[in-house]
Structure 1
Amino acid sequence: MRPLFVLLLLAVFLLLGSGDLSARWPGVSPGQLQAWLDTADPPLILDVRGRAAYRAGTLAGALDGGVEPSGFLPDGGGGLVLLLPEGASEQLVEAWFARLTDAGHQVWILEGGIAGWVEAGGSVEIPQSTYTRPGSVPFLIPRGLCEGGSPSQVFD
């Protein structure tokens, strides 16, 4: 009887500590995100899987947030969906959530990541550039902004 109890206890422990991020942080399913993207006020999608993964393919309109939570902060508040690397640690997710919620964003995790998005029929695009869209604050100052007093690119 005792080995059965130990196995049952181990199974419960594994289920509780299985790394299911949605149990601790709010998530959005690929279907819910697709519907949300079709509204007048879509969320900002922040791809934090790293530059190589971002350039290999990401959700349409997603911004490359890098891998360090301290390195990027979109301006304003509002809805923001994180596209996490596969197997992201709880510490990494906690750091992103703390940084973004402290800045006034309401944050969700895309359930299933990029694989879940594709499996649900979502499309992936290869970004043509790494410029950020208007309404966000890039971590790096665009080249030319401090050269000669005129910006090399104007965001309207």
Structure 2
Amino acid sequence: MQADQIIPLLQVTLVPVVMISAVGLICLTVQTRYGRIIDRIRALNEEKRAIKTVLRITDASNPELHRQKERLEFVETILEKLTKRGLYLKWALFLMLSSVFCFIATSFLILMSAIGITQGYLILGLFSIGMICVLVGSLLLSLEVALSYTMTMMEIRT
């Protein structure tokens, strides 16, 4: 293979590498958000268990009982919304990682096409699937951010 043939091949191969790097950075952010939400779900679930225990052993005439019931309702509402946020992030992360797989495979197929083993439509198809995964994952991230804001406003009001 001549140098004038290798240089365009290397340039084409770099496009998926750039996408891998970009999506990798997004994955770091999503993973951090996902981990924080999971930790918060666990903490609130523990609080929910503790409140239920207090409610079981508290006398019905105790004035604290009403406050505990309100807190339990609030915690259950927050848990429901956090679970939804976690689901959005889980799927966003899955799609982003799937796109990384597609971009890695695309790079490999580009190199394979240089020696005539694979066809261009396969490369284009795999790269397109990767881009669709990034698009849908980004949409899920947007939904999670919107829900995050809604939850924050809800917590401020209570």
Q: TM-score, with normalisation over the residues of structure 1?
A: 0.29
Structure number, greater radius of gyration: 2
Higher helix share: 2
Scaled by the length of structure 2, the TM-score of the pair is 0.29
